[in-house]
Amino acid sequence: MSLVWTIIATFLYVEIGVVLLLVLPIASPTRWSRFFKSQFLSMIGRQAHIYFVLLLGILVLFLLEAIREMRKYSTHDSTSEVHLNVEMQHSMRLFRAQRNFYISGFSIFLVLVIRRLVTLISTQASLLAQSEASIRQAQSASQAARSLLTQQKTNDEKSETEASDDKILVNELKKKVADLSKEVERERKDKEAMKSQAASLGKEYDRLTEEYSKLQRKVTVSGAGSDKDD
């Protein structure tokens, strides 16, 4: 194997290792996303598209070269009488061409697979971050709603307690008003009784005064008659 195809084969083995690292559950998508967004990879990522196109173009060129060699050595006329060493060399070159074809073809395929895996992992990490943010927002909204419901319930209970206290106070005031009304009515009756009693006493006083006057006049008249007799 020449040096170029050795490098391409090594690159293929590295691609296989990278694919296994990305596929196996070694790290979470969030960690892979942090790794992809690291400072070193960010510097490379600024020109990643150029590197990708350049690498893909080189691999395609070697793939076309392998296809050309396969077509070249597959058109060998096996019916002609040639030396055994030449036949073996021809078969060996055809085998190398086929090997190079598979190496370059799988290298191109794995480059596309790695690029797609990186995109999917980054998208998954972004979706996970958004879902976590949505979950935290939903939890905070749920806690806020729960606190509002608790506060509303407390306010309702407080309102019910205040309404019950107000009702009790109103009943007590009504009872006091009724008691005061009864007391006022009793005082009014007592006052009317006292008035009637005072009126009776006045009449009796007038009658007694009149009788006293009559008796006094009688006494005066009787005293005057006795003086005349004397």
Mean pLDDT along residues 169-198: 80
* Helix, strand, or coil (residue 24): coil
Inside any domain, residue 177:
no
- Whether 23 and 117 have beta carbons less than 8 Å apart is answered as yes
In this predicted structure, which of 120-124, 180-184, 211-215, 226-230 has the lowest mean pLDDT? 226-230
Is 228 inside any structural domain? Answer: no
pTM higher than 0.75: no
Please list, in sequence order, all residues whose beta carbon lies within 8 angstroms of the beta carbon of residue 175, skipping any fewer than 6 positions away.
Answer: none
In a domain, 66, yes or no: yes
Residue 42 is part of which domain span?
Answer: 3-157
Q: Which residue's structure tokens are 């697979």?
A: 113
In this predicted structure, the answer to whether residue 182 has a pLDDT above a threshold of 80 is yes
Tell whether the torsion through CA atoms of 145, 149, 154 and 155 is positive or negative.
positive
**Residue given tokens 């058109």 in the structure block:** 75
Domain count, the chain: 1
Q: Is residue 178 part of a domain?
A: no
Q: What is the pLDDT of residue 44?
A: 59
The reply to whether 216 falls in a domain is no
Q: Is residue 166 part of a domain?
A: no
Does the residue 183 lie in any domain? Answer: no
Judge whether 152 lies within some domain.
yes
pLDDT of residue 48: 65
Residue 66: burial class (beta carbons within 10 Å; 0-12, 13-18, 19+): buried
For residue 61 the two structure tokens come to 């060129």
